[in-house]
Amino acid sequence: MTALERVVTFSALASGERLDKVIVTELAELSRTHIQRLIEDGFVQVDGRMMTKPAQRLEHPATISVHIPPAAPAGTQPEDIPLDIVFENDDLLVINKPAGMVVHPAAGHFGGTLVNAVLGYNLDLEGVGDEQRPGIVHRLDKDTSGLIVVAKNDLAHRELQRQFKDRQVEKVYLALLDGHPPSDTGRIEATIGRDLKDRKRMAVVSERHGRPAITEYKTVEKFHDYTLVEAHLLTGRTHQIRLHFAYLKCPLVGDTVYGRHKPTFPLHRHFLHAARLAFQLPGSGKTMTFTAPLPEELQNVLETLRR
């Protein structure tokens, strides 16, 4: 627990109610959406066991502990940070995010985020969707580069969220793996949830403790000790690609969290790039495909391996 984290512990009766509703009754100062997010992110324990499903019903008397991280300061500030804008219309922005940039403010990252940069570019986005994450429809890890879409109004935000939820968005990544997967093409199905021992990490877990996750991949290029693959996400779980390839025992190059603690290649980030994104434009229904080339530091890695 950090110095600024608050923990609320209370006893609950066997009500048969959903876990999120039980907590809302006890912590009226938090919205149900906020509580659902805390549960999904592994910040709630029932009798010492982490819960990740807001709809879980409380069938027995229990002790519930809710860890409440420090909130980001109210009113995210616009910042003058350059953006690589791939596409823009009245409804959305498609941005090529650099590695090293956090998508939205959170504990430890209250400035310098993509949201700060987007608000600096267009202050009208303030309050679209979520006041702490205005315009954000999906996320990329800090050290993942590539394409991300940002909604400019609530209607576009809801429509884009629907497409992501209904798996109508094509999300294709390029990843360099340490080693070789068991086949040149494949489909990985492994449930992902919060690591039961460390809330800051995700893990491949049992169906009881996580959510289904599916990644399809195909080999683009083989090297002696490495494989460049194209990964197609059919679901959008946190750290999904990184975990799924670590599960196959060929983790991403540079991933010191789920892969080699000592990188096998001198790269100061993991080799993962959101290279292609396709979806229907809100309002028109026209499907558009956007691409982003590999950043120079990743392209240099491949050129070195080809020598």
**β-pair partners for 50:** 45
Q: How far apart are the C-alpha atoms of 137 and 115, rounded to whole Å?
A: 12
Token look-up 């002790």 returns 63
- CA 130 to chain centroid, in Å, comes to 16
Looking at the structure, do residues 150 and 80 belong to the same domain, yes or no? yes
How many residues comprise the chain? Answer: 307
Structure tokens at 225: 């000790």
3-class DSSP state of 136: strand
3-class DSSP state of 300: helix
Using a pLDDT cut of 70, give the percent of the chain over it.
Answer: 94
| In the predicted structure, residue 130 carries a pLDDT above the cut 70 | no
CA nearest neighbour of 45 among 63, 57, 23:
63
3-class DSSP state of 33: helix
Per-residue pLDDT, 230: 98
Token look-up 């209904």 returns 166
Question: Does 293 map to a domain?
Answer: no
Question: Does 292 map to a domain?
Answer: no
Q: How far apart are the C-alpha atoms of 304 and 253, rounded to whole Å?
A: 14
Q: Using pLDDT thresholds of 50, 70 and 90, give the confidence band for residue 74.
A: low
Per-residue pLDDT, 263: 78
Window from 1-5, 162-166, 189-193, 208-212 with minimum mean pLDDT: 1-5
Question: Regarding predicted confidence, which is higher, 221 or 135?
Answer: 221
| In the predicted structure, residue 196 carries a pLDDT above the cut 80 | no
Structure tokens at 174: 């390029």
> Domain containing 25 — which CATH number?
3.10.290.10
Per-residue pLDDT, 189: 97
Q: Work out the mean pLDDT of the chain and round it to a whole number.
A: 90
Amino acid at 80: D
Question: Regarding predicted confidence, which is higher, 2 or 180?
Answer: 180
Looking at the structure, do residues 268 and 228 belong to the same domain, yes or no? yes
Per-residue pLDDT, 258: 95
For the segment 213-239, the average pLDDT, to the nearest whole number, is: 96
Characterize 56-77 residue by residue with b for buried, 16 or more Cβ atoms within 10 angstroms of its Cβ, and e for exposed.
Answer: bebeeebebebbbbeebeeebe
Helices (H), 27-84: 32-40
Looking at the structure, do residues 154 and 193 belong to the same domain, yes or no? no
Name, in order, each residue with C-beta under 8 angstroms of 28's C-beta and a sequence gap of 6 or more.
none
Question: Does 193 map to a domain?
Answer: yes
DSSP E strands, 47-184: 49-51, 62-68, 85-88, 92-97, 145-151, 170-178
Question: Does 280 map to a domain?
Answer: no
| In the predicted structure, residue 30 carries a pLDDT above the cut 90 | no
- Determine which one of 91, 141, 178, 255 is catalytic: 141
Q: How far apart are the C-alpha atoms of 105 and 107, rounded to whole Å?
A: 7
Q: Please, are residues 230 and 218 in contact by the beta-carbon 8 Å criterion?
A: yes
| In the predicted structure, residue 1 carries a pLDDT above the cut 60 | no
Question: Regarding predicted confidence, which is higher, 42 or 158?
Answer: 158
Looking at the structure, do residues 64 and 80 belong to the same domain, yes or no? no
Per-residue pLDDT, 72: 54
pLDDT tens across 258-307, in order? 999 887 888 889 999 999 999 999 988 899 999 999 999 999 999 999 98
Looking at the structure, do residues 128 and 95 belong to the same domain, yes or no? yes
Question: Does 186 map to a domain?
Answer: yes
For the segment 220-235, the average pLDDT, to the nearest whole number, is: 96
pLDDT tens across 235-261, in order? 989 999 999 999 999 999 999 999 998
Q: How far apart are the C-alpha atoms of 188 and 173, rounded to whole Å?
A: 15
Per-residue pLDDT, 4: 60
- Dihedral Cα 290, 295, 301, 302, nearest 10 deg: 30
Eight-class DSSP state of 160:
H
Q: How far apart are the C-alpha atoms of 209 and 65, rounded to whole Å?
A: 17
Looking at the structure, do residues 218 and 140 belong to the same domain, yes or no? no
Q: Is 41 a catalytic residue?
A: no
Name, in order, each residue with C-beta under 8 angstroms of 303's C-beta and a sequence gap of 6 or more.
none
Q: Structural domain of residue 179, as residue ranges? A: 172-274+300-306
> Domain containing 128 — which CATH number?
3.30.2350.10
Question: Does 132 map to a domain?
Answer: yes
Per-residue pLDDT, 109: 64
The number of folded domains in the chain is 3
Q: Using pLDDT thresholds of 50, 70 and 90, give the confidence band for residue 2.
A: very low
Per-residue pLDDT, 81: 94
3-class DSSP state of 244: helix
